[in-house]
A and B are shown apart, each in its own frame.
Chain A
Amino acid sequence: MTGSLLLQSLVLGVLLGGLYALLAAGLTLYFGVMRVVMIAHSAFLILAAYLAWYFSQQTGLDPLLSLVFTVPLFFGVGVVMQRLLISRLRPATLTMMSVLLTFSVALVIEGTLGFLFGGTHRRIQLPYAGTSFEIFGANIALVKLIAFGLAAIALAGLYVLLKFTPLGQALRATIQHPEAAQLVGINTDRVAGYGFGLGLATAAIGGTALALDSTIYPSLHWHWIGPLMAIIVVGGLGSIPGAAIAAMALGLGQSLLQIPLGTTWAQTFFYLALFATLMLHPQGFFGDRLAQRF
């Protein structure tokens, strides 16, 4: 293994890990505010990618511009979904039933995409798709860098929002202790809706980033949901920093393992990490003891 190949994989691993981190942060938000595991997250990711593809197909503009309407749209859909669907479930069986409910949403999205656009693989033709540049012998495609940039900006935005705004404070309070948050006057139902909207907005951004440099097809979301689920369990359910760190570590690991093992077997790394975590440290490496119960 040459040094430049290693560097190349490292860089690609970081770029991939950034996207994973953004998406896993969204999943963690849903889990935090509602104790809900959102299986449909990656289906919305693919939906956003299709919207970006369709947008650039119809208008000939850059797919990044589709963010202007997909992000607010997805935020709204998230709020509506939480208010109309998730909050109707019985509290006693909320966690299990929400998995099934969001799973059914994922199926509806996949089926609708397949019905409207067919099962063929789609790809956006970008004028700068072939552009790449070299850093220390590592070859980096511009689109991958743009995707990483989007993910990094969105994550930073999410961080600022959670840390320094009143809404962020209310969200964090709801995540930490819903009853106590209600006692100090936070409308936790509404806040949970906003949390869902924010989570779906990350899927919109991630999907657009994904559409830039990969081929998309309706059943692609199954390839994303497995690694994302592994990331949030390894990081500890409900911990955003844990999710981000686990995303980076696992993204890097996958990218490095691709050199000796090839792309297919490298994917099993996520699942091995998942099973190892459950055997050694079931609550995940950054979660609190509460995480084990969900």
Chain B
Amino acid sequence: MRNDSSRTVVASSAAGWPRARVAKLTGLLALVVFVVAFPRMAADPFILSVGVIIMSYAVLATSWNFVGGFTGYISLGHASYSGLGGYATVLLILHTGVNPWLAMFLGGVIVALLAIPIGIASLRVRGASFVIVSIALVLILLLVFQSWGSFTGGSNGLRVPRPFGDEVLRPEQHERFFYLHAVLLAIAVLCWWLIDRSRFGTGLKAIREDEDKAQSLGVPTFAYKLVVFVISAFFTALGGGMYALWFGFLDPIFQFSILTGSYMVLMSLLGGIRNVFGPILGAVIVGYAMEFFKAQYGDTQIHLVALGVLLGIVVLFMPDGILPALRGLVIRFRPQATSIREVTQEELTRDATGSREESATDRGTGTKEEVSG
């Protein structure tokens, strides 16, 4: 009997939400189909390489969003972890000769371990100090990796051995790396989604809304922040390592650049940090715009101005991102189905008395209403 009733509740609630869920699943399916089909549709290897870059940005932005989206701590220095991940991968391959993919994973683990003391130091402070520390970390690492030439190759950079044999040509490589990045992205998105639905995620979001209140309600704020920080560093390092294997060359100026970190922030904010697909949407828009600017204006400094203006516009006018703005638009133009409506006090009392009379005359429908709701 109890089983029966719970099943009917589930069925009726599923029936009550069919459109939203179907739309979501269709959207997800369309996204997957598009990603799988993209290398076939790409007209030439250049377009495909742009696809790989955008995919890589999507991985990095999603990884960034573990910290930025859940806890609201904006890190401008996530390039430290992608750069460290890239260098760890390549140095492991060069010095120990392990399999490149194992090296990439080990690189991620090493960076995650390094992120523990860094997190302990930087998460003790909030807001601005946290951002300062994240920037400082990139600047230190840039200094170290440029100066420590004997180990890191210094300013000359490091050549990365190709993970596939010489018989795999460049376009083929692009295609393989596109799919590999897509798999990594899918894992990161799945992780984000799982955390989002868990008690852990609820605690993190409580930190974002009001850290003091969360703490006084018993959320172990520091431990939660540290764990999610390490997860974020791990995925960022994997993304950095995979990008290094694809790109084939590491230069400290580009690996430890504040710009890389600010791209991650811009993409996530633009798409919407509270949504699992926000950073991906942001990566597509910003990545495409960047490649467009490079193709149109070459190597001038104008792309910095464009990045700055875009970031400023997003921060000033759209701090919640595109996806929430779109949802707001949909809700506004959809027929009002929510229980909260704008009614005057008179209407409210009239409705209340009216429905009381109604429920008195027809009690049966009233209870049925309650069960399905």
Contact = CB atoms under 8 A, between A and B. Distances in A.
Q: Is chain B a partner of chain A in the same complex?
A: yes
Interface of A: 31, 35-37, 39, 85, 88-90, 93, 95-97, 99-101, 103-108, 110-115, 119, 218, 222, 225-226, 229-230, 232-233, 237, 264-265, 267-268, 270-271, 274-275, 278-279, 282, 291-294
Given A104-B311, A111-B308, A115-B305, A274 B262 contact: no
Interface string B132-152: 110111011001101100000
A110 B311 contact: no
A108 B122 CA distance: 28
B308 A31 contact: no
Contact of A294 (B128, B143, B144): B128
Given A96-B72, A278-B133, A114 B309 contact: no
Given A96-B72, A101-B312, A264-B147, A226 B139 contact: yes
A96 B69 CA distance: 13
Nearest to A267: B143
Interface string B252-275: 000000100010010001000000
A184 B97 CA distance: 71
Contact of B301 (A35, A115, A222, A230): A115
15 contacts: A37-B132, A93-B72, A100-B311, A101-B312, A104-B309, A106-B308, A107-B307, A115-B302, A230-B136, A271-B140, A274-B136, A278-B124, A278-B125, A282-B125, A292-B125
B48 interface: no
Contacts of B269: 100
Contact of B76 (A97, A103, A110, A111): A103
Contacts of B163: none
B369 to A, nearest CB: 38
Contacts of A268: 140, 143-144
B129 interface: yes
Given A103-B308, A104-B307, A106-B308, 19 more contacts: A90-B319, A95-B127, A100-B74, A100-B315, A101-B311, A104-B309, A107-B262, A110-B304, A111-B306, A113-B301, A114-B300, A115-B305, A226-B135, A229-B132, A233-B125, A267-B143, A270-B136, A282-B129, A294-B128
Contacts of A37: 128, 131-132
Given A97-B315, A222-B258, A264-B147, A107 B129 contact: no
B304 A111 contact: yes
A99 B258 CA distance: 13
A292 B129 CA distance: 8
Nearest to B253: A219
Contacts of B21: none
A112 B305 contact: yes
B303 interface: yes
B76 A226 contact: no
Nearest to A226: B139
A97 B131 CA distance: 11
Contacts of A105: 308, 312
B126 interface: yes
Interface string B61-72: 000000000001
Given A229-B132, A233-B132, A293-B127, A103 B262 contact: yes
Contacts of B329: none
Nearest to B141: A271
B316 interface: yes
Contact residues on B (Cβ < 8 Å of other chain), bracket: 35 or more
B133 A274 contact: yes
A85 B308 contact: no
Nearest to B132: A229
B154 to A, nearest CB: 11
Contacts of A229: 132, 135-136
Contacts of A99: 74, 76, 128, 131
A17 to B, nearest CB: 19
B30 interface: no
| Secondary structure dominating the interface of A | helix
A265 B128 CA distance: 26
Contacts of B137: 271
A31 B127 CA distance: 12
Nearest to B302: A115
B42 interface: no
A35 B128 CA distance: 9
The 4 closest A-B pairs by CB, nearest first: A111-B304, A114-B301, A107-B308, A111-B305
Nearest to B140: A271
B37 to A, nearest CB: 36
A185 B139 CA distance: 44
Contact of A275 (B121, B126, B302): B121
A226 B136 contact: yes
Contacts of A226: 135-136, 139
A96 B73 CA distance: 8
Contacts of B258: 222
A89 B32 CA distance: 37
Contacts of B307: 104, 107, 111
Nearest to B126: A293
Contacts of A294: 126-129
A95 B126 CA distance: 10
A97 B317 CA distance: 11
Interface string B311-333: 11001100100000000000000
Contacts of B319: 90, 93, 97
B316 A88 contact: yes
Contacts of A108: 304-305, 308-309, 312
Contacts of A292: 124-126, 129
A101 B74 CA distance: 12
Contact of A107 (B127, B135, B304): B304
B172 to A, nearest CB: 37
Interface in B44-77: 72-74, 76
A85 B186 CA distance: 38
A191 to B, nearest CB: 21
